[in-house]
Structure 1
Amino acid sequence: MSHVNEEVFPLLRTRLRTRALAAAATLVLGTGLYAGLGPLVSGASSHREAPLTAADPQIDGTDLYAFVSPDRPSTVTLVSNWIPFQEPAGGPNFYAWATGVNYDIKIDNDGDAKADLIYRWVFHNHYRSADTFLYNTGTVTSLTDADLNFYQTYDLYRINVDTGRSATLLNDAIAAPSNVGAASMPNYNADLFGAAVKQFGGSANPSYSWVGQADDPFFLDLRVFDLLYGADLKEVGDDTLAGFNVSAFALQVPKDALAAKGDAEANPTIGIWTTASRRSMRVEASGSQDFTAKFVQVSRLGMPLVNEVVVPVGAKDYFNSSKPSGDAVYLPKVQDPELPHLLNAVYGTEVPDSDPNTPGIQRADLISVFLTGVEGLNMPANVKPSEMLRLNMSIAPCTTACSPFGVIGGDNAGFPNGRRLSDDIIDVSLRVVLGVLLPSHQAIANTISDGVQVNDVTFNTA
């Protein structure tokens, strides 16, 4: 079990899928990292969203979460999920992070659409024996067990882009392995999952890191891609991604560590996005391949569903390589997205327009949600329009009677002010796309739903 003080960093349970049991081993993770919301469980906010990432799942960022930690309101919890649709029985190699890749969470704390801080994870592979095909050679009871044949370690860095200084926060920390099953890992939650929580920083207000495999927390009915729920809303209500895992890293850090000038009270709003970068390849005259060239960004994720359903297929790989500072090119697709027109064609719903007196479709509401932040909620001063997840750290976390619909449900601690694991992203997004934020909107914008309001595994608090 982790040696973290449970009074400061209480543990909660989450579930990881295995073939043998519907919910398999109960996993333990600090509420500081998952803020009382429980398991990491799978969906498709940005799963296989572009041609390149669909062919290279190790660099496919699936979801990003950011919220003020309910158990420690002086901190923020960041969760980034990768490698989608992990079948629990996917051995003998199971699911590993890519080596030679920079996995980053980037923070813009002054609204200029440029990263001011970067948290970076770099992974390393370790085999205790190369003379076996087995992931583990016996029962595994600890992260350092000799029977855990394959394991990964990671280095965690904090890079201050403004000053150019880099600090190593963790070195050779061991990631929780894939859950092979009850025979191989009989006490997975205590021996492996919980033990992967690492503390760093000062003792007065410490930070925590966790890396491992978990049940993916995004929930939805993926039959949205079957002519928008069967063309008559008959294909709803089934969490079609239940049972799949993801690989995740979670970070809990003090608010001041993220804020401009180290002052979260004066500068509470931050923008967050993730990227993955691989080294480019050079082919020598001999035909050999050299992977020591510069790093090239190959994945990007901020707000959910943007590259999934807003960016057209011809621009998806480009989006994954782009920076928020260049997002003006996507303004037409946010101003007049494809989805309202598809809903109109299939269901006869109106195509919303925030300013009918101006030629063309105008969607000031979507621009505020996806590109600038909502005024009075999470819009930075002097913001440069750009796509990222924005969080106002001064808004207190919700601890009781929280709404899965976040802001449109009267709960300003939820999406699109950051994103919690329990926020119902699909229903919120459908309603926002149909104009629920506009003063005058069609009735269906208040009720449209994919019929999946909660994750298939309960988010626990203890």
Structure 2
Amino acid sequence: MELRINRRALIGLGVAAALTASSFAMLRTDSGNASSHREAPAIAGDPRNDNTDVYAFVSPDKADTVTLLSNWIPFQEPQGGPNFYTFDTKSRYNIKIDNDGDAKPDITYQWTFRDEDRRGNDTFLYNNGPVTSLDDQNLLYRQRYTLKRITPGGSKTLVSNGIVAPSNVGPASMPDYGTLRAQSITGLPGGGKTFAGQSDEAFFLDLHVFDLLYGGDLSEVGEETTKGYNVNTLGLQVPIKDLALKGDAKRNPVIGIWSTTDKFSPNGHVQVSRLGNPLVNELVAPAGLKDAFNALPPAKDADVPALVKRVTDPEVARLLQSIYGIKAPATPRNDLVQIFLTGIAKGNGPIAADLNSQSLNKDAGKVRPAEMLRLNTSIPPTKDPNRLGVLAGDLQGFPNGRRLVDDVVDIELQAVAGAAQSGKLVPGLTDKVDKNDKPFGQVFPYIPLPSNVSVNQR
């Protein structure tokens, strides 16, 4: 499929290659990125089932594959022993793909976990000596997993006895943690790789956004408040054709992605957490809808008028106007409907570009509005990624999928303030955190190794 985006369309999207040096400099005085951590009342008390970020991008070193990453268990203090951080053995962890636009999963990758615990009544230690390999006898506790690929046609087990990379206890216990991660990466039948284990908390932002949008005067910016914390990551790198509608990525390059957690209950497994685009449940859904949103499948989003209204008339835009005097664009915000609910295509609203809607797939039906991350897999990796993604003319970046380098707080603040309509960035609208404290890797799974240094330094 030929990607039909031209300069005129980019200007309409507010992304002109035309972004001037002066306007970029006004924003570049540092910026931030974000996620969904503790985003709803119920899941805030259940961190093992709280999914925090979803990333989806064409792999920079293997452009015929897509990398999907989803994180769980936020704000892991590296010294949080003696039991550290484990996946819930009674839950199912999912990454879901919609490739035909009906907002229902056409492909589900599902992980389930089991414990292998040899500590018994002998010790409280996670390990009783240096751990140099995943099968080292000094590692007294480990988790194993089963990974399935589920489609309407049935279920196939891809990995039956995978090993989770352990929590990074410290240099005495794990003198070469990189080796342990490398050993945990498992090949998939038919090509591809998967990973399960602890990682650096790679989303970067200043969380003072919740203190009246950075103190009410932008005085509370510039601190990477997630620095030093870890998360648990599930990752996949699979051939693009494995995700495309009818297996044909040329005719059908756009996919929708979200992750969920299904927690065991007396009535069976129940969805308790959901994540697609970053910050949606935190900053779009009101408090009274947050738990309901976590339990809702994307196919039902359009049936909840109170939720849709939070997109067409966003609270954040009104707060920016009342606190900072940044005039809120006129409602209804059909530009935000495209960004969050339908994907961006000329037929979907005021953003005059064909970018990442499943309506661009030649074999897709009518698109059902639904919140999910959407990725056009036909756009090749950018040699020099721009942290502002599509708003800076870098079409491989957010909201076309999400890369680890994408500065989604700044991008979403600018979009809510109307940048996608006006073609102009709002000067100074930034949290002044523009990159992660650790560099990203060059090969799968790309996300940095977990920290083993206490967040609270003496």
* TM-score band w.r.t. shorter chain: 0.7 to 0.9
Cα distance, 1:447 vs structure 2? 4.3
Out of 413, 420, 425, the residue aligned to residue 430 of structure 1 is 413
Deviation per residue, 1:202-250 (Å, 9 max, x gap): 3xxx210011101111000111111111111111111011000000011
Q: 1:366 matched to which residue of 2?
A: 336
Cα distance between partner residues in 2 of 1:367 and 1:252: 29
Cα distance, 1:129 vs structure 2? 2.7
TM-score by length of 2: 0.84
Cα distance between partner residues in 2 of 1:439 and 1:227: 25
- Aligned partner letter, 1:156: L
Cα distance between partner residues in 2 of 1:43 and 1:427: 7
1:184 aligns with 2:173: yes
RMSD across aligned C-alpha pairs, in angstroms?
A: 1.4
1:173 aligns with 2:150: no
Is there any run of 5+ residues in structure 2 with no aligned partner, and where? 1-31, 346-353, 360-365, 444-458
1:78 aligns with 2:68: yes
Deviation per residue, 1:367-405 (Å, 9 max, x gap): 000000011000112211100000011111112x22111
Cα distance, 1:458 vs structure 2? 2.1
- Aligned partner letter, 1:198: T
Q: RCO higher in 1 or 2 (8 Å CA, sep ≥ 6)?
A: 2
- Aligned partner letter, 2:124: F
Out of 204, 208, 211, the residue aligned to residue 223 of structure 1 is 208
Q: Are the equivalent residues in 2 in contact too, given 1:43–1:216 (CA < 8 A)? A: no
Are the structure 2 counterparts of residues 295 and 460 from structure 1 closer, same or farther at C-alpha, using a change threshold of 3 Å?
Answer: closer
Are the structure 2 counterparts of residues 272 and 414 from structure 1 closer, same or farther at C-alpha, using a change threshold of 3 Å?
Answer: same
Cα distance between partner residues in 1 of 2:440 and 2:334: 34
Cα distance between partner residues in 1 of 2:269 and 2:399: 31
Q: 2:185 matched to which residue of 1?
A: 197
- Aligned partner letter, 1:155: T
1:243 aligns with 2:231: no
- Aligned partner letter, 1:171: S
Are the structure 2 counterparts of residues 43 and 449 from structure 1 closer, same or farther at C-alpha, using a change threshold of 3 Å?
Answer: closer
Cα distance between partner residues in 2 of 1:373 and 1:43: 21
Cα distance between partner residues in 1 of 2:129 and 2:33: 33
1:260-275 matched pairs, under 5 angstroms: 260-275=245-260
Deviation per residue, 1:95-118 (Å, 9 max, x gap): 000001110001001001111110
Q: 2:125 matched to which residue of 1?
A: 134
Q: 1:344 matched to which residue of 2?
A: 321
Deviation per residue, 1:240-294 (Å, 9 max, x gap): 110000000110000111011111111111100001001223xxxxxxxxxxx32
Q: 2:390 matched to which residue of 1?
A: 407
Q: 1:51 matched to which residue of 2?
A: 41
Cα distance between partner residues in 2 of 1:313 and 1:254: 39
Q: 1:451 matched to which residue of 2?
A: 432
Cα distance between partner residues in 1 of 2:428 and 2:218: 13
Cα distance between partner residues in 1 of 2:422 and 2:219: 30
Is there any run of 5+ residues in structure 1 with no aligned partner, and where? 1-41, 282-292, 354-360
1:299-378 matched pairs, under 5 angstroms: 299-328=273-302, 329=304, 330-353=307-330, 361-375=331-345, 376-378=354-356
Cα distance, 1:414 vs structure 2? 0.6
TM-score by length of 1: 0.83
- Aligned partner letter, 1:147: N
Q: Are the equivalent residues in 2 in contact too, given 1:370–1:387 (CA < 8 A)? A: yes
Which range moved further: 243-252 or 343-352?
A: 343-352
Cα distance, 1:460 vs structure 2? 4.4
SS at 1:73 equivalent: coil
1:154 aligns with 2:159: no
Cα distance between partner residues in 2 of 1:259 and 1:417: 16
Cα distance between partner residues in 2 of 1:307 and 1:211: 25
Out of 231, 239, 249, the residue aligned to residue 254 of structure 1 is 239
Cα distance between partner residues in 2 of 1:149 and 1:95: 14
Cα distance, 1:461 vs structure 2? 3.3
Q: 1:15 matched to which residue of 2?
A: none
Q: Are the equivalent residues in 1 in contact too, given 2:164–2:196 (CA < 8 A)? A: yes
- Aligned partner letter, 2:372: M
Q: Are the equivalent residues in 2 in contact too, given 1:128–1:146 (CA < 8 A)? A: no
Aligned length: 394
Cα distance between partner residues in 1 of 2:435 and 2:141: 35
The ranges of structure 1 where at least 4 consecutive aligned residues each deviate by more than 3 angstroms after the TM superposition are none
Cα distance between partner residues in 2 of 1:435 and 1:453: 21
Cα distance between partner residues in 2 of 1:461 and 1:274: 24
Cα distance between partner residues in 1 of 2:151 and 2:435: 37
Cα distance between partner residues in 1 of 2:423 and 2:85: 48
Paired-residue identity, %: 53
Cα distance between partner residues in 1 of 2:71 and 2:385: 23
- Aligned partner letter, 2:369: P
